[in-house]
Structure 1
Amino acid sequence: MNQNYNTSKQPPVVDRSTWQAKLDVLRLREKAHTREGDAIAAARRRLPMVEVDSSIPLIGPDGPVTLLETFEGRHQLIAYFHMWHTGRPAAEQCEGCTFSTTHINELSYLNSRDVSYATFCEGPYEESSRYRDFMGWTVPWYSVPQDAADQLIVDRHFGILVSYLRDGDKVYETYWTTGRGNERMAPSYGLLDLTVYGRKEFWEDSPEGWPQHWGSKGGQFQMDGRPTAQWSRLAAGRSDDLGT
């Protein structure tokens, strides 16, 4: 499954002082980028919010629960709305959602800041939870019935990342994003951006001759016809049978 990338094109070799001088110039741009991100986050914290029915029903491992209960007693909740293709095998499930969800496995830091995290999956609980188990994901997992989806999604689509605030028994939506806004879930991209060849995706502005293999329509999250992260699970002997 390893790709044979042509790495014959490489940056020029210079002495360390020349290299450090170039890096110092770039560092100024990086720091400005960080400060702009801080300013955007500050503006995000000043957005108004919209009330959401806290009794919206979802399905968890022990049966029906309300949106309010998914907060697990904390005041804030981040929910990722995972796409699901009902009745299809694991290999045909959403590669982008698999990419994003695979990166989320340690919640203690969020929890220590009074924030819960949950996956709200589009599909039937029994079917989608088998996929969760196959992938080895441990985050709280809920199925969203269609009538609940209509209330939570509101003219959007699954694949969104949503922030909620609880005030007593009332729930408010404070922010949402999707597409490249979801990249904050996946540190793999941030790490790839630090490398000389980047993500190797066609849209990137890279020097001529740099290896670029991946598109941006979902194929960048697949390898040999499956979501990339599934291969290590299969190699470990896990079953991808979803009971469909």
Structure 2
Amino acid sequence: MNTESPSRPAIVDRSQFEADVAALRVREKAHVREGDAIAAARRRLPMVEVDASSELIGPDGPTTLLDAFEGRSQLLAYYFMWHTGHPAPEQCEGCTWVTTQVAELSYLHSRDITYAVFAQGPYPETARYREFMGWQVPWYSALPSMDTLLVGRSVGMMHIVCYLRTDDRVFETYWTTRRGVEAMDYSYALMDLTVYGRQEPWEDSPAGWPQHWPVDGSNTRIDGRPIPQWSRLAAGRSDDLSG
């Protein structure tokens, strides 16, 4: 039997299903191998020196980019967009989305990699947002050194920047922005395995598939807030960023 519905895949028997999965698996394996080849090329990129003394603000006051390594040789820094003076519901839904999903750092640490958030706003305000969200990752304000650390890039955009430390010198080895930050995400990766995918209009899906999540910020918001904020409010946490 092979019937189709405008909102469901065709129904087939097990042998046909397994044959179609096997055919797709060939493409999936090629995709993985190409990803491995791109990662190999990334490891062969040159690097550029950055000022190791670039100032950051942390929980104990002013510190440096070098100190943010916490003694490790590598640093992954996520540059969190920030709207200074705006309330929690108006803060970046995309940055909230990816930062919420980075919780366990021990695997990074086992490879001599430190992960930290570099907020693009004042430390007191951004740190209160971190507390409201319940994040435990290392947190700094990069505001004093934004022009140095993000030279040539759009300040105010989400970025991942990778650094390497050699003694007291720091080098930038790679950076990404926009969809590159999906490296931090697992929700979309899991959605991509499902029949309806991310349910966003840009996706190439059959006619009739649900696609009600436009990529305009509302895809990571519900009822006017970044989606993860609601569970924090339900738990009784204050989202007041002032004071």
Q: Secondary structure at the match of 2:140?
A: strand
Q: Secondary structure at the match of 1:164?
A: strand
Counterpart selection for 2:146 from 139, 146, 149:
149
Equivalent pair of 2:125/2:241 in contact (CA under 8 Å): yes
Are residues 1:47 and 2:45 paired? yes
Quote the Cα distance in structure 1 between the aligned partners of 2:150 and 2:214: 28
Are residues 1:178 and 2:177 paired? yes
* Alignment match, 1:23: 21
Quote how far apart the aligned CAs of 1:218 are: 1.7
User: Structure 2 matches for 1:16-95, cutoff 5 A?
Assistant: 16-95=14-93
**For residue 228 of structure 1, what is the amino acid of its counterpart?**
I
* Alignment match, 2:210: 211
**For residue 219 of structure 2, what is the amino acid of its counterpart?**
Q
* Alignment match, 1:3: none
Quote how far apart the aligned CAs of 1:197 are: 0.4
Deviation sequence 1:202-238 (CA, Å, 0-9, x none): 1000000000011122221111101111111111111
**For residue 104 of structure 1, what is the amino acid of its counterpart?**
V
Q: Secondary structure at the match of 1:134?
A: helix
* Alignment match, 1:222: 221
* Alignment match, 2:113: 115
Equivalent pair of 2:52/2:170 in contact (CA under 8 Å): yes
Quote how far apart the aligned CAs of 1:97 are: 0.7
How many residues are treated as equivalent by the alignment? 237
Gaps of 5+ in 2: none
* Alignment match, 1:101: 99
**For residue 13 of structure 2, what is the amino acid of its counterpart?**
D
Quote how far apart the aligned CAs of 1:14 are: 1.0
88-97 or 150-159: which moved more? 150-159
Task: Quote the RMSD (CA, aligned, Å).
Answer: 1.1
* Alignment match, 2:138: 140
Equivalent pair of 2:6/2:207 in contact (CA under 8 Å): no
Deviation sequence 1:151-197 (CA, Å, 0-9, x none): 00112123110100000000000000011111110010100000000
* Alignment match, 1:164: 163
The alignment's TM-score, normalised by the length of structure 1, stands at: 0.95
Gaps of 5+ in 1: 1-6
**For residue 204 of structure 1, what is the amino acid of its counterpart?**
E
* Alignment match, 1:197: 196
Deviation sequence 1:56-112 (CA, Å, 0-9, x none): 010000111100000000000000000111111000000111111111111000000
The alignment's TM-score, normalised by the length of structure 2, stands at: 0.95
**For residue 56 of structure 2, what is the amino acid of its counterpart?**
L
Quote how far apart the aligned CAs of 1:17 are: 1.0
Q: Secondary structure at the match of 2:98?
A: helix
**For residue 130 of structure 1, what is the amino acid of its counterpart?**
R
Quote the Cα distance in structure 1 between the aligned partners of 2:193 and 2:52: 41
